[in-house]
Amino acid sequence: MKPTASVRRTSARHLLTVGLVASLALVSACTKSEDDSAKGDSASPQNDAGQVVSSPSTGSGPSCALDAYGGEKLDLKNATVGFSQSEKEANPFRIAETASLKAEAGKRGVKLLTANAQSQFSKQISDVQDLIAKGADLLVIAPLNSDGWEPVLRAASAKHIPIVTIDRKINATACKDYVSFIGSDFVEQGKRAADQMIEATGGKGEIAILLGAAGNNVTTERTKGFEQRIKEKAPDLKIVFRQTGDFAREKGQSVTENLIQSKPGITGIYAENDEMGLGAVNALKGAGKKPGAVKIVTIDGTRNAVQGIVDGWIQGVIESNPRFGPLAFQTLDTFTRGEKVSQDIVIEDSSYTGSNARADLGKAY
Ligand code: GZL
């Protein structure tokens, strides 16, 4: 298990309302034990706005510094940061992610240029090239796809523009094509979702997977973790259906409508993000099903999905925290001061079930 910068989440967020510097003191590199993450009782330190605030230099993996990457020291306050968002801001995950970057830039008085690729990869490549042309000294990229970044990375590295990727990984070389990756452990998320599905179904029956969009590591890894854990721990739980819902609510609904026609006795549905899970709920409601008749487990931690647990439609949600603002800027700040940052900064996510959904609804985004 890769070491992660984390501190056990206290029971109430207000206990964690510490400034970024103070919370860095709280952070300790540790390796998640399988049990800890299964229990889901650990999460990266968050400030009172739910922003992830782990330290950028705590991970014990390989690091990156200016002398290796190339480029000059910069004072972030006098720099321009370009942020490239991947998907349209219809998904609360993207809304919260962009808001977090904007809030941190505002707090630090840093000039931020933003672009949104509206879920079109070719547009994201041209967005990043435009941000460079507009004078971005540093880039934060939330990549739509994992492959196809060579053109823009070449343009950026020719100008020694530091790049931090958040959320999804790109298939490129750390500390050469980009400085650091900041995001969740998606295989772990899949495993924890499987634990919740096993709990909800008693480990028996037939289940379906609503796959995320193709072409990115999140879908691949959430599927891998889930299927691995089901195989390990619940041989009587059969995965009988897999189809992509493209991380979208409408498609999640239409795929589920077809699913319950072809498999009316389906026991459970694992949706690889909340939007598809909420689409599945709409399909079940439309078919006259009762809450809980089909066990649903999703990943993200959006407000509507956690409310779905309270209402009985959804049995579990694994958080995928998108509020990378403080950590992304802290990483850029540390790096441009000439200090080392980890190439892989993996955050830990919390989770929601019937036992904490109502109390923790305010932590959802
Ligand atoms: C996960 C992120 C995924 C979210 C979806 O970090 O890449 O993309 O889980 C979003 O909601 O579409």
Instruction: Determine the structural domain holding residue 76 and report its residue range.
Output: 70-182
Q: Which of 124, 157, 182 is the last residue of a domain?
A: 182
Tens digit of each residue's pLDDT (9 = 90 or more) over 168-182 = 999 999 999 999 999
Whether the CB of 324 sits within 6 Å of ligand 1: no
Q: How far apart are CA 240 and CA 89, in angstroms?
A: 32
CB 239 within 8 A of CB 230: yes
Terminal alpha carbon distance of the chain? 27
pLDDT digits (tens, 9 = 90+) for 67-107: 999 999 999 999 999 999 999 999 999 999 999 999 999 99
| Residues linked to residue 111 through DSSP beta bridges, in sequence order | 80
User: Is 112 in the same domain as 194?
Assistant: no
Q: How far is the CA of 159 from the centre of ligand 1 (A)?
A: 30
Ligand 1 atom closest to Cα of 87?
12
Q: State pLDDT tens for residues 215-257.
A: 999 999 999 999 999 999 999 999 999 999 999 999 999 999 9
**58's tokens:** 């705590």
Could you tell me the pLDDT band of residue 157, with boundaries at 50, 70 and 90? confident
CA of 299 to the centre of ligand 1 (A): 8
Tell me what pLDDT residue 154 has: 85
Going by C-alpha positions, the residue among 348, 356, 354 that lies closest to residue 313 is 354
For ligand 1, atom 6: residue with the closest CA: 167
CATH number at residue 228: 3.40.50.2300
Asked if residue 299 lies in contact with residue 274, where contact means CB atoms within 8 angstroms, the answer is yes
Same domain, 272 and 197: yes
pLDDT of 28 reads 33
Tell me whether residue 335 is in a domain. Answer: no
Q: Is the CB of 144 under 6 A from ligand 1?
A: no
Residue 171 forms part of a structural domain = yes
In-domain check, residue 223: yes
Sign of the dihedral defined by the CA atoms of residues 235, 240, 243, 247, in that order: negative
What is the number of structural domains in the chain? 2
* Per-residue pLDDT, 20: 44
**C-alpha separations of 276 from 24, 209, 297, 314 in Å:** 35, 10, 11, 12
174: DSSP letter: B
pTM of the complete model beyond 0.95: no
| Residue pair 352/301 in contact by the 8 Å Cβ criterion | yes
Same domain assignment for residues 239 and 313:
yes
Confidence category of residue 32, pLDDT binned at 50, 70, 90: very low
Q: What is the mean pLDDT of residues 182-187?
A: 97
Per-residue pLDDT tens over the stretch 135-145: 999 999 999 99
- Of ligand 1's atoms, which has the minimum distance to the CA of residue 94? 10
> What are the tens digits of pLDDT across the range 254-292?
999 999 999 999 999 999 999 999 999 999 999 999 999
Q: What percent of the chain has pLDDT over 70?
A: 85
pLDDT above 90: percentage of residues in the chain: 81
User: Is 331 contained in some domain?
Assistant: no
| 6 pLDDT higher than 50 | no
Q: Which of 247, 250, 349 to mutate to test the pocket of ligand 1 (most atoms within 8 A of CB)?
A: 247
Q: Is the CB of 167 under 6 A from ligand 1?
A: yes
The whole-number pLDDT of residue 35 equals 39
pLDDT of residue 42: 53
CB 81 within 8 A of CB 139: yes
Name the residue at shortest CA distance from atom 12 of ligand 1.
247
For CA atoms 359, 10, 5, 185, give the dihedral sign. Answer: negative
112 and 124 share one domain: yes
| DSSP secondary structure letter of residue 33 | P
Higher pLDDT, residue 2 or 310: 310
Tell me, what's the pLDDT at 166? 98
Which pLDDT score is estimated for 3? 41
pLDDT at 57 over 90: no
| Span from the CA of 94 to the centroid of ligand 1 (angstroms) | 8
